[in-house]
Amino acid sequence: MTAWRAGLERLIARSYARGYDRVVEGFAPYEALRAEVADYVQRSAPPGATVIDVACGIGNVCLHLGALGYAVRGFDQVATLVDAARAKHRADNGDVQFDTLDVAHGDIPGAGTFDVLVSMNTLYWHPDPDGLLRACHAALRPGGHAVIVNYARRARVARTVREVAAQNGLPAGLAALRWLMPTAAFELLRDFEPRYPSRPALRAMIEAAGFEILDERDTFLAGLCRLVWARRSEERS
């Protein structure tokens, strides 16, 4: 990566850290997705269980789960985002910790002991998705559960507005612009090759990493994302 590109990536990360909450907090579709993920975590293990969030960003999901009583460890490879997540932590968020780490290429503290894993839209940008999923498998205890969300397609602004409006009315479609516009700009500026596996391909990736799929569904803004709930199978051969 050139010095110019690295500098731009740092600027994007800082902008993301400063602006993300203004986009998603109070945005009903995002809050519904976060609640949906939390529901699957609660189906996986009771409060007090340990949760690992892979590529946690600025920690919104971690802090939400911590407030529900889970012991949460959030990891992200971008230090700027980890710093922002730490700054948001309050006592009422409970037992939540954040560290800088790309779990696909580093040793995860506590690997093999976590009860639940959460991965929010990580596979679509990570350069080594299969390695990431193997690391997710290794992070969990045998029988532990994973909640994996991935984009099913690119968030095209006009198309998504039309689809949301068709399902929930024009005001909801227009309200989706609050998330769609900055997301489109973010994807345009980032230096990565997005990945949108089909439903069968996403299943195959997750199963190949050693998971048994328990449930899956389309979610968020007229099915823009795919949520998979899975359980770590017996130790892979």
Confidence band of 21 (pLDDT split at 50, 70, 90) = confident
Mean pLDDT of 129-158: 96
131-138: average pLDDT: 97
Render pLDDT for 211-228 as a digit per residue (tens, 0 to 9). 999 999 999 999 999 999
* 126 close to 132: Cβ distance less than 8 angstroms: yes
Would the pLDDT of 18 be above 60? yes
Instruction: Please tell me the predicted confidence (pLDDT) of residue 237.
Output: 41
What are the distances in angstroms from CA 52 to CA 59, 182, 204? 11, 27, 23
Does the pLDDT at position 189 exceed 80? Answer: no
101 or 5: which leads in pLDDT: 101
Decide if 206 contacts 213 (C-beta within 8 A): yes
Q: Give the CATH number of domain 3-232; options: 3.20.20.140, 3.40.50.150, 3.40.50.720, 3.40.640.10.
A: 3.40.50.150
Average pLDDT taken over every residue of the chain? 92
| Distance, CA of 59 to CA of 115 (rounded, Å) | 19
Question: Lowest-pLDDT range, 19-23, 34-38, 111-115, 200-204?
Answer: 19-23
Task: Check residue 1 and give its pLDDT.
Answer: 62
pTM for the full model?
Answer: 0.92
